[in-house]
Amino acid sequence: MQLEKDEITMNYNFREIEAKWQKYWAENETFKALNNSEKPKYYALSMFPYPSGAGLHVGHPLGYIATDIYARYKRHKGFNVLHPMGYDSFGLPAEQYAIQTGQHPAITTEANIKRYREQLDQLGFSFDWSREVRTSNPSYYKWTQWIFIQLFNSWYNKTSDKAEEISGLVALFEKDGNEAVNAAFDDDTPIFNAEDWNSFSDRTKQEVLLKYRLTYLADTEVNWCPALGTVLANDEIVNGVSERGGHPVIRKKMTQWSMRITAYAQRLLDGLDTIDWPQPLKDSQTNWIGRSEGASVTFNVLPPAPSIGRGANIRLTGNSAIIGILLERAKEMRKRPTPAEAKLWEALRGKKLNVKFRRQHPVHNYIVDFIALEKGLIVEVDGKIHEYQLDADAQRTLELKQKKGFKVIRFTNDEVLHDIDGVVSKIKEVLNSLPSGEGWGGDQIEVFTTRPDTIFGVSFMTLAPEHELVSKITAQEQKEAVDAYVEATAKRSERDRMADVKTISGVFTGAYAEHPFTKEPVPIWIGDYVLASYGTGAVMAVPCGDQRDYDFAKHYDIAIPNIFEGVDISEEAFADKATTVIANSDFLNGLDYKKAVKKAIEELEKLGQGEGKVNYRLRDAVFSRQRYWGEPFPVYYVDGMPQMIADEHLPLELPEVEKYLPTETGEPPLGNATHWAWNSIENKVVSNEKIDNNTIFPLELNTMPGWAGSSQYFNRYMDPHNDNAIYSKEAIEYWEDVDLYIGGSEHATGHLLYSRFWQKFLFDKGIAPKEEFAKKLINQGMITGTSAFVYRLRFQVKPGYKTSLENILKIVDNMPVVYLSKNLFDQNVRDKSKNAGENAFLEKLLEKYANADKAWTHDISVKFSRLHVDVTFVNASDELDIKAYQNSIPEMQNIVFESEGNGNFGLEREIEKMSKSKYNVVNPDAICEEYGADSLRLYEMFLGPLEQSKPWNTAGITGVHSFLKKLWRLYHTGPNGEFYVTDSPPLEGQGEALKSLHKTIKKVEEDIKNFSFNTSVSTFMICVNELTSQKCTSKAILEPLAILVSPYAPYIAEELWEKLGYTESIAEAPFPKFEEKYLVESSKEYPISFNGKMRFTMQLPLDMAKDEIEAAVMGHEKTQAQLQGRTPKKVIVVPGKIVNIVG
């Protein structure tokens, strides 16, 4: 018994130490942060986890450890440190589990959190647990709902460039309508004046306001995942399938809440320059926002049968280049009609035939006698078309008829003068046969282009098949083909479309647009390479300058005009902006890219057909999910219009449901709730039966997405228990923002973009003092697993066996499954025949286990497979612990292990992602049990640079573990290994120890500054090795050393600190101060190199002058040996660094 007790004091008993300090920290609230302090603040944050059922594996804590080291270091440096932790506890897995088992997600979540907490506690983090938040707690999501309401009550004023109260917008509408308002709003918003607005019904007003609110309800094309029964955000889809579960996703139109994040596109982009985040992360946000500069250009659709009204048509049907002359001419002609024209006009004018006719009307390059625009009918008298300016060749007549789609009928003067009734009835007849072309004319196609400089290279236009104009403009004769194409594309899933980028497909609509400058007709195609969701869903195709347009043009044999000077485009498009010189482009000729863009935009603006424009790829974020386990929207519906629940009645708590699946009518799971109606008088949730749509209304059935709760949690930590506000002004003014944020790179475009958006919004509203929530962000790399493999042999009956099946089966059934060790496999089987008959080794095995006549063994074959072996049964030398492994598998399995000669059973190792299915998951609990949390913390850091991904191999942990033992022993050099530290001041000869210490202080501080934690672990090892060999026992050295180590290995540091005589925790002990004076060297071991190659070293005083060094080196016998009599051409001496002899 005595012996055991001694051993406890002597040895590094990490289990006891760690349990002791865990308790101490919890009881003394050692890491509790104060919201007011004389000290400077420091806010260190790790991304909070989703508490999954599997618990933590060794990869998870990597980032937490790094943050913790930094937080602890800052505490030693005299900062008031906020280092909180919580749980992102709403989420899909708990809900899926609920669907399968009926278990309430809150219960599973609670259990998972409990396990997480145990694991986190064990790892020795300096979290202030008093500030824990859980996104699924009503007291937390009250404020998520509150922010939602704030967004609902705000609009984005582009003039002040910030979010403002919606009431201000209403005031503007009341005064001036919406035309002059510069806001972020929906495209389909109608224009109204003050009078209109004031006459709108309340409902209409609400509808209009929804088009301006920062969160709004709208019919949106969403990514619907039938298998999950919910909508997914773009960033929740990976390769066309759901990120969770890999289910197919289709496009569907649904009424959904959306977040107007697009209003913040530019600020989200600009803000990236102000924060110290990893470049790849910034790049991916930049990419996601997708800003491109260019121009929007309006193309007028040339009408086959232009429509009625709106005076604008007069311009639209005529070639605008010559419209002035045409109109003048037409006027003149109207003044002097022929008798026949006059007579017919009397019969047609004033809608006598129920159709409005115009006379002497310009169409394209011509003036026609009479035209019914809405029917596309031209009536010509005397069989003539008054041509103007251009030759009346057959081509142009054809153009009017076919390309422009007009029906032309002709009468002679005689017919009109003598049989006006017959003529009119003929016209009536034709009119009746024509479809009403209402809405045909006056259509415009707006495109976005980044290359307005290439506008003269346009030879066609392409619309997305979903473009709203497609059905309108498609010519009769192309209708069938276009419809078929549109239908075919709609059917194709996103995934198909993505997988199949190479195939070129499209259909001509039969319609033409007019080129803004040349006024030439430009054919309009549709093609699925144009995306409805980007830009305007239409492109001006410039085949010579864009490869996709080029390929399309080649495929459909469309002209490819070359507008580049000295460039060959016979093989491919030319897209190099830097070397672009424009040609064949009228006023753009000879200009480079930049100048041509500017000029083209200027000219377009003159025409009123374009302007410079910035386009973003970023879409508004869909915010509704058809799930149960998420934040309920604080919304009820009156007359179908959403109403917010007043702040003082929040939180609106998640109702109980019987089933977590969608309802039979396809409503979200909350549709199952029986108690889910809002009493607007009593302001409480009541039974659905009471809904009267008078005072009691239905509540919203969707819930918020996973990112809702995580978009502001970092601010809530500052004042997590505040019930009156999301946080107090004092709290956020003290803490301001996160100084260091560490987490995985997978959140680059999800959490980290949405959080920045919400933060900017809160900043606009004066609720947050900083526009960016995290100054510095680090992505920790992934820890991958090292899988272990074994080769398994099974004996089988060979197909085409020659003897009795019954007998062979008898033998085979009794044969074991053989596991081959790696070396045996490598030497005897890999790269060799796996047919027993041709492989002596296998033949031998077969005979060994068949225990049968040779005749029988010919009918037995060997089948190989490579199996994952659970890494818990693998030792440091990649060998299998056969006994332990056997104990883990069912007994009835007859397995034999073919080991190597020395009895070891080697395994093959391979790096793979850490996952349950690969049996390579390493559990931190087991590591802590065997080596302790300090060892785990050190080892995770020791593995390599924080930001790199690196493989886990438990074997290596013995290195850091024995370091900790050495560290312990350094303080326990007394008799029987008792604690022994000398109090006496540093003696003579302690120079070396002080040097070791200060070298370490310097390096560790540098490392922490650079987040290079792996190298500081090495530094500690070197220091302890040095002090051990120096037999250092001085308190003056060992005390600061304990503080140095404490951020990395806090448990052992606390224990040593206590043994050194302190009664307070080491947590706030001041970090040792580095003193340069202990590192001053008097001499240096110079590397002496010859032609750049180091040959030997020489100890020389550091204060030696350059020429003295040269003389000393040249005088050295080894120098002479190296030179072998040659005279050096040059001797380079860099004092304090190197000597290089050339020659």
Q: Which amino acid is at 1142?
A: V
Position among 117, 858, 965, 1116 found at the interface with RNA (CB under 7 A): 965
CA angle 862, 866, 869 (to 5 degrees): 130
SS (H, E, C) 672-697: HCCCCEEECCCCEEECHHHCCCCCEE
Q: Identify which of residues 9 and 397 has a Cβ nearer to RNA in the complex.
A: 9
Interaction pattern, residues 1068-1107, with RNA; x per rule: CB under 7 A: -----------------x-x-x-xxxxxxx----------
Q: Does 1000 bind RNA (CB under 7 A)?
A: no
CB of 877 to RNA, least distance (A): 3
User: Hey, what's the torsion of the CAs at 849, 850, 852, 853, to 10 degrees?
Assistant: -110
Q: Determine phi and psi for 859, rounding to 5 degrees.
A: -95, 10
Longest alpha-carbon distance in the chain = 137
Residues contacting 726, CB < 8 A, separation 6+: 143, 146, 147, 712, 715, 716, 767
Task: Report the site for RNA in 1005-1024 (rule: CB under 7 A).
Answer: 1006, 1012, 1014-1015, 1017-1018, 1021-1022
Is residue 548 at the binding interface for RNA, with CB under 7 A as the rule?
A: yes
Q: Whole-number minimum distance, CB 1010 to RNA, in Å?
A: 8
- CB nearer to RNA: give 792 or 965: 965
- Residue 1138 neighbours by CB distance under 10 Å: 15
Supply the DSSP symbol for 513. E
Site for RNA in 433-452 (CB under 7 A): 448-451
Minimum CB distance to RNA smaller for 380 or for 1006: 1006
Closer of 53 and 280 to RNA (Cβ): 280
124: alpha, beta or left, given left = phi > 0 and alpha = psi -120 to 50? Answer: left
**Nearest-approach distance from CB 120 to RNA, in angstroms:** 24
**Closer of 683 and 1091 to RNA (Cβ):** 1091
Closer of 896 and 1022 to RNA (Cβ): 1022
- Between CA 589 and CA 453 the distance in angstroms is 10
1028-1031 long-range contacts (CB < 8 A, ≥24 apart) are 1028/966, 1028/969, 1028/970, 1030/992, 1030/993, 1030/996, 1031/973
Binders in 1100-1119 for RNA, by CB under 7 A: none
One of 185, 529, 636, 717 touching RNA (CB under 7 A): 529
6, 270, 500, 647: residue in contact with RNA (rule CB under 7 A)? 500
200-208, long-range: CB < 8 A, 24+ apart: 203/639, 203/641, 205/170, 206/641, 207/641, 208/173, 208/178
Report the SS3 class of residue 442: coil
Half-sphere exposure of residue 756: CA atoms within 13 angstroms, side-chain side = 27
x/- string (CB under 7 A) for RNA, residues 923-942?
A: -------------------x
CB of 463 to RNA, least distance (A): 10
**Residues 866-895, interacting with RNA (CB under 7 A):** 876-877
Question: Quick one: 652 or 970, whose CB is closer to RNA?
Answer: 970
Q: Kindly write out the interface string for residues 457-486 of this chain, putting x where it contacts RNA by CB under 7 A and - elsewhere.
A: -------x----------------------
Residues 389-428 that bind RNA (CB under 7 A): none
The sign of the CA dihedral 694, 696, 702, 704 is: positive
- The residue among 204 and 298 lying less far from RNA, judged by its C-beta, is 298
For position 1137 contacting RNA by CB under 7 A, the verdict is: yes
C-beta closer to RNA: residue 131 or 950: 950
Q: Which lies closer to RNA via its Cβ, residue 334 or residue 577?
A: 577
Of residues 585 and 615, the one with the C-beta less far from RNA: 615
Q: Which of 29, 57, 52 has the alpha carbon at shortest distance from 940? A: 57
Pick the binder of RNA from 958, 984, 1083, 1120 (CB under 7 A).
Answer: 958
**Residue 973 interacts with RNA (CB under 7 A)?**
no
Q: What angle do CA 669, 670, 671 make, to 5 degrees?
A: 85
Q: Note whether 963 binds RNA by CB under 7 A.
A: yes
CA 1085 – CA 1100 distance, rounded (Å): 6
Residue placing its CB nearer to RNA in the complex, 423 or 1024 = 1024
Q: Based on CB atoms, which residue is closest to RNA, 634 or 750?
A: 750
Contact between 477 and 510 under an 8 Å Cβ cutoff? The reply is: yes
What is the three-class DSSP state of 356?
Answer: coil
From residue 565 to residue 604, the character string flagging contacts with RNA as x (rule: CB under 7 A) and all else as - is: ----------------------------------------
| Residue-by-residue DSSP string for 168-230 | HHHHHHHHH-STT--B---TTPPP--HHHHHHS-HHHHHHHHHTTBSEEEEEEEEEEETTTTE
Determine whether 257 is exposed, middle or buried from the number of CB atoms within 10 Å of its CB (0-12, 13-18, 19+). buried
For residue 332, give every residue at least 6 positions away whose Cβ sits within 8 Å of its Cβ, in sequence order, or none.
none
How far is residue 760's CA from residue 97's CA, in Å, rounded to a whole number?
A: 36
Residue 239 or 389 with smaller CB distance to RNA: 239
* 182 binds RNA per the rule CB under 7 A: no
Among 373, 943, 1036, 1041, binds RNA (CB under 7 A): 943
CA distances 108 to 103, 652, 931, 955, Å, are 7, 22, 30, 34
At closest approach, how far in Å is the CB of 985 from RNA? 28
Of 546, 620, 925, 1058, which lies in the binding site for RNA, with binding defined by CB under 7 A? Answer: 546
Q: Which C-beta is closer to RNA: that of 235 or that of 934?
A: 235
- Locate 5 and state its tokens: 């007790």
Of 141 and 757, CB closest to RNA: 757
According to the binding rule CB under 7 A, does residue 248 interact with RNA? no
Q: Which of 123, 530, 622, 738 binds RNA (CB under 7 A)?
A: 530
Q: Using CA atoms, how far apart are residues 622 and 225, in angstroms rounded to an integer? A: 14
Nearer to RNA, 696 or 943 (CB): 943
Residues between 734 and 763 that touch RNA (CB under 7 A):
745-746, 748-749
Report the C-alpha gap between 508 and 523 in whole angstroms.
7
Asked if 966 and 1024 count as a contact pair (C-beta separation under 8 A), the reply is yes
Instruction: Determine which residue in the list 68, 235, 700, 739 makes contact with RNA, applying CB under 7 A.
Output: 235
The size of the chain, in residues, is 1143
Residue 823 near RNA by CB under 7 A: no
d(CA 454, CA 586): 11
Output 521 or 945, the one with its CB closest to RNA. 945
Instruction: Report, in Å, the least distance between residue 1068 CB and RNA.
Output: 29
Residues 278-317 touching RNA, rule: CB under 7 A, are 279-280, 283-284, 287-288, 290, 292, 294
Q: Taking the alpha carbons of 1132, 1134, 1139, 1140 in that order, is the dihedral positive or negative?
A: negative
- Binder among 177, 521, 945, 986 for RNA (CB under 7 A): 945
* Minimum CB–partner distance for residue 825 and RNA (Å): 17
**Helix, strand or coil for residue 619?**
coil
Distance of closest approach, residue 73 Cβ to RNA, in angstroms: 18
Q: Find the binder of RNA among 155, 275, 1122, 1128 (CB under 7 A).
A: 1122
Residue 238 makes contact with RNA by CB under 7 A: yes
> What minimum distance in Å lies between the beta carbon of 544 and RNA?
12
Among 539, 753, 836, 1004, binds RNA (CB under 7 A): 539
Write out the two tokens for 568. 């060959």
Binding mask 599-638 for RNA (x = CB under 7 A): ----------------x-x---------------------
Query: Residue 1025 interacts with RNA (CB under 7 A)?
Result: yes
**Alpha-carbon 681 to chain mean position:** 44
